[in-house]
Structure 1
């Protein structure tokens, strides 16, 4: 069968479990005997090869589907026999040290493995559903931690301003956007930019996604009382210069972060808002006084990820009337609009990889006074634009005009 032919081609050493001390020793020997183990290895190996960020294993009444999320879009990857569903889930639970006998409640775990020389960290989540257990794995590739600020898609001016902001001696710098918009990557790239020799840099994260040399990283454990606020208060007794806080979720954490910023520390953190000005409103809604926000916040960076046109099949876009009108309205030369024809390198999609689009709000003295008066978000957004803020929409259109993405 197709599955058997796939299994016969998989090398036993293609996927190795790094956490050997937590695993049964027999697992390595089982790899030569169990087709399920070999097939799970094949799924992980294929996802890694295709550059997937997530693996979805979805059981149905009479089917089993495996999908990969690549550049933000889900694609069908393979369809193993439905009878393999429970065995695949059990194998993944063993790898993640989960309870294989518990199928009634969700479980979360972690798998560290090496795939053809690449170290991967998989965050696994199981969810009971009508046809069995759905499993989703987020793939954290240690290679992505080497990405620098220069590689993220910043315009030259925005990049220099951002570098200036993360070099300030104190204050709060926020990165905001929905889940999956690249906030953590931006924060990690920013931390890598900093001087770790003369600065004491610490983080509080949930979870710790990547390990950074020269930086003290603390894992939040809310179930045992290790909250963001409690960890942050402890960090402030550790003589920090720079603190990265995974997320500002509640009033206590926000107040502690504000006090840290106002007492000589640089605090980097994230929020979930649609744009940069809305981050100020969110802090007010959390329970902070507007005058404290104005005094402490230095800058807010809103961001999204867009797909990049494949460099191997990029060509001038086919211009219809709608595209011509768009180019005219945005002041873009129609001849600069590009598209991807589709090739083997990009799986015939015309896109390969992603880059950020950004909206950087720098809080100057005038905006601090305005924030202290607690303006509504619409008025505040207008004032920010008048002060020179480039919006997400504008930055996105600039990148369309540069021929790196599409409308």
Structure 2
């Protein structure tokens, strides 16, 4: 336990802790604004004060601070009393035994949470799980409070529990949480936010932190962010509590060893969670980014939650509204003995859904006579007929080596995002398997360059990493499919092009002509198409759209194209124009198919 100084002045304590000299403190004290706390002012100017803020706050309040919490000091009721355990998890606090024997000592990870609890009404504290514990053991209600190093406290809080994976970086672990599990007001609010977004078929939820600590909530639907109509912004306190809950429940993994310091995120993190209601099961992929934590009192994070429906176990390509030519090309390639099929596009463009449709198509061709395996990080959707394996990012090569000993015919690698995942895809497709994966690329002609960039990136590779060459990659490629999602017009309120307000119609026509000229595309007669009604109608929730449609382009890697690409690599060149001319179907072709059918507006087709 850290011994604390008697002098409670913040400046004196900063000096006593060895964080700054007396001269430094006095120099900065002269410039402190009148409306700013000394600790907050010094933390902006002196290194290491922010990371030691909880120690200083504890010392200022004459509280003990624990750098280390002995495992044997945890009160046994924590793991025997379920209401007590949930109460402590919600508040990040930990009951200890024997300090002194007639009192209960409770450690908190955050001074603000401790202060809030200590100052809550006495009657509330008498009847909560901590008060009930004191009464059952005839202990004094005068609880002895303390602060503990956050990661140390959390590791003890979840000790001997399956939930230990919430606070340490282990193999990927996905928790299932349902709306009926919500116990606190914040948990019930989060369940409401998720349920409303799922009901609206949103693709993402966005938490946007403002400078005053409040957080605005919005959801992405049909490509645009929209505010929740019946959910107000979160207060700073509500935001902090919801963030703590999400970090724990999603088993957040951190990109840096710094992780969180005294409750504040220092580096990006990501985590996963399955949210279950009585009618649906949705996979949540959560991303956390620190957003200018310039205040000790506010924990500002930008949060994005990707929503993926896990209810469907069979997805058919024909139900995804893919063009007949796209389905035909996929079917031809799936009947080959080996090859690498890439589905490329930006984030949230439905790539994984299309790959799931390929799994169904492959099973329709071969029935149960083929062995299908997937290597995913994480498993976002459960599918029938394929053995799905979840793997941590740095274990792709080891798992793929094991896969090849299982005699697979079809392998799905969730996403190519680094050299190991790229190398394993290339190696496997060249040894006799159909391999399907996704890749971030703007269009199909740019995908081979992106793949080769991953292959050539040696950063972070181990000495025993699989070695593949650009020639291996070119030889492996068999088909590239680019995909985007465009909003589908509401059939009840869409407006015929010729009936639209003349100025706006002419503006759309000018944009289309400029687009065609810039991209060297022949113009089509679009005057029989439809445009979106901005205010929409009741059928489309006044948005003008009722869903999204995929548009695709097809780039088959034929023998002749493969030979040309190999020659270009030998010459140290790479010609995207060659690949562009090899496309049999383009994103623009598919978008204009929808425009002609009156399904997509001209403005949304100009991608």
TM-score normalised by L of structure 2 = 0.57
* Deviation at residue 204 of structure 1 after TM alignment: 0.9
- Distance in 2, Cα, partners of 1:125 & 1:371: 38
Aligned to 2:593: 398
Distance 1:40 1:145 in 2: 26
Alignment partner of 1:104 out of 265, 269, 288 = 265
Aligned to 2:220: 69
**Distance apart, 1:338 and its partner CA:** 4.1
Cα deviation, 1:320-365, whole Å, max 9, x if unaligned, reads 2344464895223411334346112322121121111111011222
Distance change in 2, residues 1:252/1:89 (3 Å): closer
Q: Shift of the alpha carbon at 1:165?
A: 1.3
Aligned to 2:538: 344
- 1:79 to 2:274 alignment: no
Q: What is the match of residue 56 of structure 1?
A: 206
How many residue pairs get matched? 378
Deviation (angstroms), 1:268: 0.8
How big is the shift at 1:199?
0.8
CA 1:340–1:201 in structure 2 vs 1: closer, same or farther (change >3 Å)?
farther
Shift in CA distance, 383/104, structure 1 to aligned 2, threshold 3 Å:
closer
Partner of 1:170: 338
Counterpart in the other structure of 1:6: none
2:290 match: 128
2:486 to 281, 301, 306: 306
Unmatched tracts of structure 2, length 5 or more: 1-160, 164-174, 253-259, 457-467, 517-521
Q: For 2:287 and 2:508, locate their aligned partners in 1 and report how far apart those are by CA, in whole Å.
A: 42
Question: Does residue 203 of structure 1 match 2:374?
Answer: yes
Q: TM-score, length-normalised on structure 1? A: 0.82
Paired residue for 1:321? 506
Q: Does 1:194 align with 2:362?
A: yes
Alignment of 1:244-283 (within 5 A): 244-283=412-451
- Measured on the aligned residues, the alpha-carbon RMSD in Å equals 3.0
Tell me if the contact between 1:298 and 1:362 (Cα under 8 Å) persists in the aligned partners. Answer: yes
Greater RCO, 1 or 2 (C-alpha within 8 Å, sep 6+): 1
Moved more, 319-328 or 157-166: 319-328
| Matches for 1:281-296 after TM superposition, within 5 Å | 281-285=449-453, 286-287=455-456, 289-296=469-476
Change (3 A) 1:203 1:30: closer
Deviation of the 1:256 alpha carbon: 3.7
Deviations 1:43-65 (A, max 9, x none): 12211221122222333315331
- Contact 2:313–2:384 under 8 Å retained in 1: no
Instruction: Name which one, 1 or 2, has greater alpha-carbon Rg.
Output: 2
Using the TM superposition, give the Cα deviation of residue 241 of structure 1 relative to its aligned residue in structure 2, in angstroms.
0.6
Cα distance change on mapping 1:79 and 1:284 into 2, 3 Å: same
Contact 2:372 2:408 in 1 (8 A): yes
- The alpha carbon displacement at 1:219 in A equals 1.5
Q: Distance in 2 between matches of 1:21 and 1:229?
A: 28
Label 1:349 to 1:291 Cα distance change in 2 as closer, same or farther (>3 A).
same
Alignment check: 8 A CA contact 2:374 2:411 kept: yes
**In 2: Cα distance, 1:294 partner to 1:308 partner:** 36
Residue matched to 1:40 = 190
1:212/1:376 CA distance change after superposition, 3 Å: same
Moved more, 292-301 or 231-240: 292-301
Name the residue aligned to 1:179. 347
8 Å Cα contact 1:200-1:215 kept in structure 2 = yes
Residues 348 and 202 from structure 1, CA distance in 2 versus in 1: closer, same or farther, beyond 3 angstroms?
A: same
Q: Is the 8 A contact 1:246 1:270 kept in 2?
A: yes
The answer as to whether partners of 2:186 and 2:242 remain within 8 angstroms in 1 is yes
Separation in 2 of the partners of 1:107 and 1:324?
Answer: 44
1:113 aligns with 2:275: yes
Please tell me whether residue 212 in structure 1 is matched to residue 367 in structure 2: no
Whether 1:148 and 2:341 are equivalent positions in the alignment is no
Are the aligned partners of 1:121 and 1:141 in contact in 2 as well (CA < 8 Å)? yes
In terms of fraction of residues, the more strand-rich structure is 1
- Paired with 1:94 and 1:296, the residues of 2 have a C-alpha distance of 41
Q: Shift of the alpha carbon at 1:265?
A: 0.9
Describe the shift of the 1:401–1:29 C-alpha distance in structure 2 as closer, same or farther (beyond 3 A): closer
Residue aligned with 1:187, SS: helix
2:557 maps to 363
2:532 is paired with a residue of what secondary structure? strand
| Cα distance in 2 between the residues matched to 1:339 and 1:332 | 18
* Contact 1:64–1:79 (CA under 8 A) maintained in structure 2: no
Of 375, 394, 397, which aligns to 1:229?
Answer: 397
